Structure 1
Amino acid sequence: MKKAIDDYLNGLEQKILDDLEINYSKVKSNMNILVQQMERRASQINQMQRYFNKSTQNSTELQTSSKIYSNLESWGIFNETNLEVKISSNLKSILQDVKSFGEIIVTTTSSKLRIKTGRKHQAQDLVPNSPEIEDIKPSFMKRLTIPKDKTNLNIWACVVLPGRKLVMFDYDKARILLFSNDGIFVREVVSFTETLLDACLVDNDTVAVALGSANQTALVDIAKNTIIRTVNLSHQCDAVGSDGEKMVVSGIEKSTIVNLNDMSLTILEGVGAYHIALSNEHIYATINNENKIYCYKITGERLWEFKHEEIQSPQGITLDKNGFVYIASRGNNSIIVVSPDGKASKAILSEADGIKSPYAIDINKETGMMLMSIEISNDNGIVYNSALIYKI
């Protein structure tokens, strides 16, 4: 506010200074004209001097002086020109009427915290309000530009890197492809001789790749185009998920927790999945022929399962920063969101949005960028895989 007042008053001051300069220039010009007139009339003054000498012989001094004064006055010699700045009365009133810059007003609003209730006598936690499932409305950003020589892609997994670059995992040719955040193909990273079934982000530029019946999961450095480690397991590797510290690799009957610090292994019997996600010490799993979503503790204890008619042949699974679970529902061309407690769901994208046979899905929790693989057809009717990018 102070700066605004200063700027406004400075503007007024500059305006009056400009006006003063203009009027001063006019006065100075008039004075120059008067000087020029005086020079031209110098001879007339000499004549008047002679007239004065002559007139004093025939007239009184008063009469003579009066005539000379009248002539000089007619030339404007005795006129005074003054410049005066008159301060606006409104500006002067500021000193009298304005007593302060304003007033301090204190308002009180209701808290945005809600009470998380627990058992009797249990301490209560204050937690910030979480968004509701109805608030989730993704906005379309762009579609991947697939080169003509790559239209035979069969995308079974996808990852959004922290730097927003996009990684596609091609099942048919067991290869990893890198795309820019604008959806433009950059390069092929690595390829495998084994079957590539699933993949996930581990940390920064490192991804994990589940290699199916080879009973292996590979760690790949995308930036260096290098397989940096291969982990051998006791079961088929159908799905993989990671939180950066641990990696969970699942088969249909059991899973293995890999400690990424010391590479120790822990078997979880009875925890099977075709696709999984790991977040906040919880494992989220889909089994497509059951049309169910499961949630387990990291210890293998089942917390909940969710089944709904709008979930059909669920494939890829991922979570956003608020714990909502996103599923690629391939059977009905939809993207479904399930609440963190597994009690509610909502279809947020459908075939009307261009979702056709979705399979892989991933969300960057920091940026809210959601990536999913779909089927599209070209002008010749040839069907191939691409991917859509949304902001949530």
Structure 2
Amino acid sequence: MALSVKHFCTICEYDGISNTAVTWCTECEVCFCGDCEKTHSKSGLSKHHKTMSADNYKRLPTFMQEIRSQCRDHNTINEFYCSFHACPCCVQCVTDKHKKCQDMKPLSDTLHQVKSSASVQLFEKDLKNVKENLDTTIMYLKTRISTINIQKTKAIEEISYMRKSINDNLNKLEQNIINDLESKHSKLRANMATILQQMEQGSSQIDQMQSQFTNLIQHATELQMYIGLKEIEKTAKYIGDLERTEHFIEKNLEVNISSALQSFLQDVKSFGDININTTSSTLRLKTGRKDQAQHLVTEIPGIEQIKPSLLTRLTSPKDMKLNIWACHILPDSRIVILDNNKKQLVLFSNDGIFIRNVVTFTKNPCDVCFVRNYTVAVTLRAANQIALVDVEKNKIIQTIKLSHECYGVSSDGKTLVITSAGSQCTSVNLNDMSQTILEGMQGISTEKQE
């Protein structure tokens, strides 16, 4: 309501004077101040006009205040009402803009006894229902916002838990390999230290013999000299034997990082996917009366009133001769085509430009439908199969085998329904891929020929 808006006298404004309006003439559709209202009420042409106080006029919704009986484009009285466009129009409008509109009625007929009609009498109840529906919807949306906030928090906790689990596992694996490194390093070092000690002892003995060699020659007996030389030979032979064994084979420590960890760094491009999955709404609103406000609410045009118009032409490469068996518009307005010539799924942009061949099938495809995310389902009739295709990744992500030929297919994102040539249909639960035969359902009666 526009109660805060101040209206001024329309007549006085023409003279550049801003006098506050006190009345509104519903027929002249102008505001009057006290003086102008007196003149208006005494004029022979307007003394019987219906007026209302400016305060009551302010209480009308803004959109109602803007409604005029005079055409804004041609400044002439609106004499007709176009039901198709839900708007009043003058004679000139009929000629200029509404030549093809079939349901044109005199405005006087449309407005005849509107306020006393059953629709208006029930208008208050309808407004109450609308208000309740709005309140219900607002509460529903607030609940949904609260729900997705909780879902976001849980998702963050799940991501953090997964990150912590990965960190904990990597820490454990890191400690295991470090422990293994310490063990093997200690063993190698101990072996080499033992040999080093033996070599140092032998070297010390040789140093002692070298320093006393002259004394040995002058003072040692023949027996002592002979036995001493034998000991020296043993030491030399021991060193030679060590060189020929594996004790001096070089053993180096090295680490080989797990190929799984290396591929993790190379292959893992994201932590996961965030999906918005749709389910049936739990919102329940009060339904309106089918016959309410017949003269006030625009009727939905019938099929005979719909005027088809060309929106887009598909442009394919010159060497591509398509034999189109099915076509589907994706939620992002791109278009997928089933080409039976080359048994392929083809992708076009929303303005009809060829993008690429998505996948090629070994059997002739028959029908296609959108499933969810970037996935479409394609029926392969002769193979008794459904192929789930990721349009973004250009690959078949899953194949579902059925007990009958597969013609038409439809999906609500949670279930696939596939028809056969006879009276047998199958529904496939996309969560667990369980199948249910729908006996007695009417399938396709005439087969397409490959």
More strand by share: 1
More helix by share: 2
| Same fold, judged at TM 0.5 (above) | no
User: What TM-score, normalized by structure 1, do the two folds share?
Assistant: 0.41
Instruction: Give the greater-gyration-radius structure (CA).
Output: 2
